[in-house]
Amino acid sequence: MKKIPLLLMGCGGVGRQLLHHIVSCRPLHSKQGIRLRVVGVCDSNSLVLASDVSTKELDDASLMEVCRIKSSGSSLHSLSNFGDCQVFSGQEVVKKAIDIADRFGKSTGLAFVDCSASSKTVEVLNQVADLGCCVVLANKKPLTASLEAYDKLVSHPRRIRHESTVGAGLPVIASLNRMISCGDPIHCIIGSLSGTFGYVMSELENGKPFSKVVNAAKSLGYTEPDPRDDLSGMDVARKGLILARLLGHRLSLENIKIESLYPLEMAPNVLPVEDFLVNGLPLLDKDIQDRITKASSKGKVLRYVCLIENNRCEVGIQELEKDSPLGRLRGSDNLLEIYSRCYREQPLVIQGAGAGNDTTAAGVLADILDFQDLFS
Ligand SMILES: NC(=O)C1=CN([C@@H]2O[C@H](COP(=O)(O)OP(=O)(O)OC[C@H]3O[C@@H](n4cnc5c(N)ncnc54)[C@H](OP(=O)(O)O)[C@@H]3O)[C@@H](O)[C@H]2O)C=CC1
Ligand SMILES: N[C@@H](CC=O)C(=O)O
């Protein structure tokens, strides 16, 4: 049986769903001769580890207890007295994680999985990659930090995967990598890359108020932990930047023109997230509904569009024909049109669910399994 040891950073909606997928896929993986050994899981402040990571793993009962504890809003620290595991907190977390990466990097290898939404993980990811570990990200922030950090992170191309960072489980990065590696130059990508905006826009077209549909998108697991990351356009800009960098454009977030749906006085440094969700959002209802009605009177719909072309990337709202490919999108679906030499007149089109814990975690799991040939 091929064993893949795994350490998971981030145990929110996506991280917990990943653990559920790992447990429910046991019979399938067993038929394929693969065993995913989860040796540790951490949240923002604690790390829970198998008692002896070299020989033991967090068993399925422990993984489900981790999920239960995190769903209830508690810290992993509360697992201190649970079963046969060790818990580390505070500064010890990163130290211990690197220690494990060092040990496994020199022996069997380790899949180090970032399902956090933190910008602070980039350093630890770079260190574990240097130590020989495989890195999988659902988190877009490390890939959209400085160009220097990005270059370092992608400098081990056979040991890094981040399919779920754009289009959740959709095969976007894999398709682009195939085109790039066979010398098919990509001239332009146009897309609707936000499950949140997709869902919000189509629910607004059904006459529902903006404030209600943003809260619903959050409950459905489509939004970022703070939905302003979506509504500011920043989440789409990050995805655009990840694609642009993959195509070789030397861009950073500051180079991207981004349109925000809320004013500066509702920004995270001014208004706590709960305040924004309860009191801020209703103040935006009328303005957004007016924009939808105006577009509709011309037979058009609003879509939040990402355009990458000529070494530039821009993201913002566009009025599009109802009957255009992007105009026809419903719900949390994403759609990308990719134009290249081979797909010059008719673009390569990738469409499907572009957000949600299930599809995102499935994409992360597929990325982990993609490394199987590197493990024995
Ligand atoms: N939902 C979706 O459709 C998609 C999500 N993604 C990405 O997946 C990631 C996870 O999203 P989601 O699960 O919704 O987010 P959540 O906010 O639900 O969970 C984030 C988790 O990360 C933990 N965390 C925060 N900082 C750190 C840190 N420095 N080290 C380790 N863990 C940390 C949090 O800990 P604590 O519990 O202590 O706060 C929490 O457990 C995000 O980056 C998101 O952009 C990507 C594609 C689609
Ligand atoms: N918040 C994102 C989740 C996936 O990246 C979105 O709405 O698309």
Q: What is the mean pLDDT of residues 315-327?
A: 97
The answer as to whether 173 is a domain residue is no
Indicate which CATH number applies to the domain containing 98: 3.40.50.720
Task: Calculate the average pLDDT of the chain.
Answer: 97
The closest residue, in CA terms, to atom 27 on ligand 1 is: 44
- Position 136 confidence tier, pLDDT thresholds 50, 70, 90: very high
Same domain for 260 and 113: no
Q: What is the CATH number of the domain that holds 286?
A: 3.30.360.10
Q: Would 138 be classed as within a structural domain?
A: yes
Whose Cα sits closest to atom 38 in ligand 1? Answer: 44
What distance in angstroms lies between residue 279's CA and the mean position of ligand 2's atoms?
A: 23
Give tens-digit pLDDT for 159-174: 999 999 999 999 999 9
Q: What are phi and psi of 38, to 5 degrees?
A: -80, 110
Q: Are residues 209 and 128 in the same domain?
A: no
Q: Report if residue 260 sits inside a domain.
A: yes
User: What total number of domains does the chain contain?
Assistant: 2
Tell how far the Cα of 288 is from the centroid of ligand 2, in angstroms.
Answer: 20
Q: Which residue has the tokens 């959050």?
A: 218
Q: Residues 186, 320: one domain? A: yes
Residue 160 is given by DSSP the state E
Whether residues 275 and 337 share a domain: the answer is: yes
Please tell me whether residues 202 and 349 are part of one structural domain. Answer: yes
Closest CA to 190 of 368, 354, 334: 334
Among all bound ligands, the one having the nearest atom to the CA of 163 is 1
Over residues 309-315, mean pLDDT: 96
In order of 74, 316, 317, 344, the CA distances from 349 in angstroms are 42, 20, 20, 12
Q: Give percent of the chain with pLDDT exceeding 90.
A: 98
Confidence of residue 306 (pLDDT cuts 50, 70, 90): very high
- What pLDDT shows up at residue 312? 96
The pLDDT value given to residue 82 = 81
Based on the fold, state whether residues 191 and 335 are members of the same structural domain: yes
At 275, the pLDDT band (50, 70, 90 cuts) reads: very high
The catalytically annotated residue of 70, 96, 239, 300 is 239
Is 174 domain-assigned?
no
CA–CA distance, 103 with 135 (Å, rounded to integer): 15
Annotation says 239 is catalytic: yes
Residue 95 lies in a domain: yes
Q: Are 96 and 88 in contact (CB under 8 A)?
A: yes
Is residue 200's pLDDT more than 80? Answer: yes
Task: List the structure tokens of 91.
Answer: 């500064």
Answer whether residue 81 shows pLDDT above 80. no
- Whether 86 and 69 share a structural domain: yes
Specify if 184 maps to a domain.
Answer: yes
15 lines ligand 2 (CB under 6 A): no
DSSP state of 113: E
Q: What is the pLDDT of residue 166?
A: 98
The percentage of the chain sitting over the pLDDT mark of 70, rounded to a whole number, equals 100
> Is residue 323 in some structural domain?
yes
Question: Which ligand is nearest to the Cα of residue 357, counting in written order?
Answer: 1
Same domain (yes/no): 186, 149: no
Asked if 60 and 123 sit in the same domain, the reply is yes
Model-level pTM? Answer: 0.97
Same domain, 207 and 136: no
Is the pLDDT at 143 greater than 80? The verdict is yes
The binding-site residues of ligand 1, defined as CB within 6 angstroms of any ligand atom, are: 9-15, 42-45, 70, 115-118, 120-121, 138-140, 164-165, 168, 195, 221-222, 224-225, 355-357, 360
Range of the domain at 190: 180-353
Looking at the structure, tell me whether residues 299 and 348 fall in a common domain.
Answer: yes
**pLDDT tens-digit profile of 105-133?**
999 999 999 999 999 999 999 999 999 99
For ligand 1, atom 28, the nearest C-alpha belongs to 44
157 and 257 in a single domain? The answer is no
**Does 84 score more than 90 pLDDT?**
no
Q: Is residue 175 part of a domain?
A: no
pLDDT at 223 (0 to 100): 97
What is the average pLDDT across 287-312? Answer: 97
How confident is the model over 231-258, as a mean pLDDT?
Answer: 98
User: Residue 83: its pLDDT value, please?
Assistant: 80
Spacing, Cα 11 to ligand 1 middle (Å): 7
